[in-house]
A and B are shown apart, each in its own frame.
Chain A
Amino acid sequence: MSTKLSIQGVSRVFTSPRGARTQALTPVDFDVRENDFVTILGPSGCGKSTMLRIVAGLDQPTTGRVLLDGQPVDGPGADRGMVFQSYTLFPWLTIAQNIRFGLRERGMPEAQQKERCDYFIAKVGLRGFESHFPKQLSGGMQQRTAIARALANDPKILLLDEPFGALDNQTRVLMQELLLGIWESARKTVLFVTHDIDEAIFMANRVAVFSARPGRIKTELAVDLPHPRHYTIKTSPEFMQLKARLTEEIRAESMAAAEH
């Protein structure tokens, strides 16, 4: 399959107002193929979110470049949908208006907006909540809306930055299944950042393990578990094996991070 996203020698150095320099990301080279579901796994503060923000165009790399379909990325755009860890629905818009935000910005005809919005509302199981405000919904429902809002734009790649990090465990598992189900049926290219090992394996067909800061990709691991995946797969021997291996990798990095 062809390369969708190409991260080439991307590094990031943050300079504090006093001039202190922190290397958040050592040059990273990484490719995501079309229809890949890649999870980026790493301890907190390892620079994995920084990399995702650079792909989204919300941050500028110090060196290197990002190519999407061979085109260099400069600045954020609708072709890269993003779901954040924090709840970023617009609180003054209803659920339906939130999902239609990008479509309206693009000037899509009203009828078409409605049709797409209805489709994705159904897809994330929020029928009946169209005219609710975000604050009236639970955290899980808000993140489902955020996913629908990003997908409604039909982006070339979907970027998720620990989207379920703030949710309780049960909701989190349901959300994983929901997102995976959407991916299995729609075959989007997905780049998903997480620090949860189960989540990383369950969702992905490829896991990239980040080292402790300054971040770099330490290991890449293919996940060949069959689709559609059911939550029971998490107790299968294959899953356990992958988990044991990744736990070892992450442990080394977390200890390295703690020493600094």
Chain B
Amino acid sequence: MLGLAFFVVFVAAWSVFTLGGFVSPTFLASPITMAREGWLLFTEYNFIHDIGMTVWRVVGGFVLASIVAVPLGIAMGAHKGVEAFLEPFVSFCRYLPASAFIPLLILWAGLGELQKLLVIFIGSVFQVTLMVAVTVGSARRDLVEAAYTLGANNRGIVKRVLIPGAAPEIAETLRLVLGWAWTYVIVAELIGSSSGIGHMITDSQALLNTGQIIFGIIVIGLIGLVSDFAFKALNRRLFVWSTL
């Protein structure tokens, strides 16, 4: 409730500044203008399609990254050899900004969907790999030992101790990185794109339509919030034991 109150305060301050004439409408649209522009976006400009495209890119790139990064991270966390082999490279790649790859990716993959997915993929895959590796690597030693004395072999340890033990934290990692993926997708859409929320924002910039820009930003925030809640709820349901 208190959290909601701040949203109200924020919108009120925004209204005072814009409707009171303290800020020029060219620079910042009022909440009312924004709402009206938002309505127009849906009715006139097929904004739903843009939202759909953006969501699909985020989810697509994120799922691809997860499919690669989670098994890789588990392998690194479970086997010291794999970790020693890959960790320096992955750590290096983690610091490469995904947005800096956009020109290269356009050169390699063109302006199509593949390029957008790759931006998300590059932005997420190294982060997830490292975080999963750390999670799996920090498994409780006494649980591993207990499993050995119960007759588990190395495969059993990975499958029945390391992975289930790390699963809730891996899911948390994915939730966190999904949030970051949202920032990459907009950057990817700002450059060389013909659809998506980011593309709409660039278009509106050319027309100095700050109402639409702000509306776009808010929609991104809302979708992010909803997906985050959904992810959290899913994790809680899947891993009841970890919240006991």
A binds B: yes
Would you call the interface of chain B mostly helix, strand, loop, or mixed? helix
Residue of B nearest to A79 (CB): B151
Sorting the interface of chain A by its residue count into under 10, 10 to 19, 20 to 34 or 35 or more gives 20 to 34
**What distance in Å separates the Cβ of B154 from its nearest Cβ neighbour in chain A?**
11
Whether the pair A58, B148 counts as a contact (CB closer than 8 A) is yes
A239 in contact (CB, < 8 A): no
Residue of A nearest to B167 (CB): A92
Counting chain B CB atoms within 10 Å of each CB, which of A78, A90, A93, A102 scores highest? A90
Q: Which of A76, A93, A150, A159 has the most chain B CB within a 10 Å cutoff? A: A76
Contact B150 A105 (CB under 8 A): yes
CA distance A162 to B148 in the complex (A): 19
Min CB distance A196 to B, Å, is: 21
A72-105 vs B, Cβ < 8 Å mask (1 yes, 0 no): 0001111011101010101111000000011001
Q: Which of A78, A88, A135 contacts B244 (CB 8 A)?
A: A135
What residues on A are CB-neighbors of B152 within 8 Å? 101-102, 105
Asked whether B239 is an interface residue with its Cβ less than 8 Å from the other chain, the reply is yes
Residue on B with the closest CB to A58?
A: B145
**Bound Cα distance A133, B239 (Å):** 12
Most chain A CB inside 10 Å of its own CB: which residue of B143, B150, B151, B239: B150
Counting CB contacts under 8 A, is B147 at the interface? yes
A88 CA to B116 CA in the complex, in Å?
A: 46
Chain A residues within 8 Å of B148, by CB: 57-58, 75-77
A76–B149 touching, CB < 8 Å: yes
A135 touches B241 (CB 8 A): yes
Bound CA span A57–B148, Å: 9
Whether B112 is near chain A, meaning CB under 8 Å from some CB there, is no
CB distance B142 to A92 under 8 Å?
no
A58-B145, A133-B241 are known contacts. Are A90 and B165 too (CB-CB below 8 A)? yes
Q: Mark B171-192, 1 if CB is under 8 A from A, else 0.
A: 0000000000000000000000
Q: A76-B148, A136-B244 are in contact. Are A88 and B142 (CB under 8 A)?
A: yes
Write the chain B residue with the least CB distance to A101: B150
Q: Complex formed: what's the CA distance from A1 to B162 in Å? A: 42
Residues in B whose Cβ lies below 8 Å from that of A106: 151
**A92 CA / B150 CA spacing, docked (Å):** 17
Q: Which residues of B contact A146 (CB under 8 A)?
A: 146
- Contact B146–A78 (Cβ < 8 Å): no
Binary B-proximity of A134-160 (CB < 8 A = 1, otherwise 0): 011000000000100110010000010
Q: Is A56 an interface residue (CB 8 A)?
A: yes
Q: How far is B164's CA from A4's CA once the two chains are assembled, in angstroms?
A: 36
CA distance A93 to B244 in the complex (A): 13
Are B142 and A84 interface neighbours, CB within 8 A? Answer: yes
CB-based contact B147/A91 at 8 Å: no
Q: Is B160 an interface residue (CB 8 A)?
A: yes
**B149, A81: Cβ atoms closer than 8 Å:** yes
The residues of A that contact B164 with a CB separation of less than 8 Å are 90, 92-93
Residues of B near A81 (CB, < 8 A) are: 149-150
Least CB distance, B238 to chain A, in whole angstroms:
10
User: CB within 8 A of B150: which of A78, A86, A133?
Assistant: A78
Inter-chain contacts of B242 with A (CB < 8 A): 91-92
Min CB–CB distance A134 → chain B (angstroms): 8
Q: Give bound CA distance, A149 to B151, whole Å.
A: 12
Q: Which residues of A contact B142 (CB under 8 A)?
A: 84, 86, 88
Contacting A at CB under 8 A, from B79-122, are none
- Can you show 23 pairs from A to B with CB atoms below 8 A apart? A56-B149, A77-B148, A77-B149, A78-B150, A81-B149, A82-B145, A88-B142, A88-B143, A88-B145, A90-B147, A90-B165, A91-B165, A91-B241, A92-B164, A92-B239, A92-B241, A101-B147, A102-B152, A105-B147, A105-B151, A105-B153, A136-B244, A159-B149
List the 4 shortest-distance A-B pairs measured between CB atoms, nearest first.
A78-B151, A102-B150, A76-B148, A88-B146
B interface, CB within 8 angstroms of A? 142-143, 145-153, 156, 160-161, 164-165, 167, 239-242, 244
Apart from A58-B145, A58-B149, A88-B143, what are 16 other A-B pairs with CB-CB below 8 Å? A56-B149, A76-B145, A76-B149, A77-B149, A80-B149, A81-B150, A82-B149, A88-B146, A90-B164, A92-B164, A92-B242, A101-B150, A106-B151, A146-B146, A149-B150, A153-B150
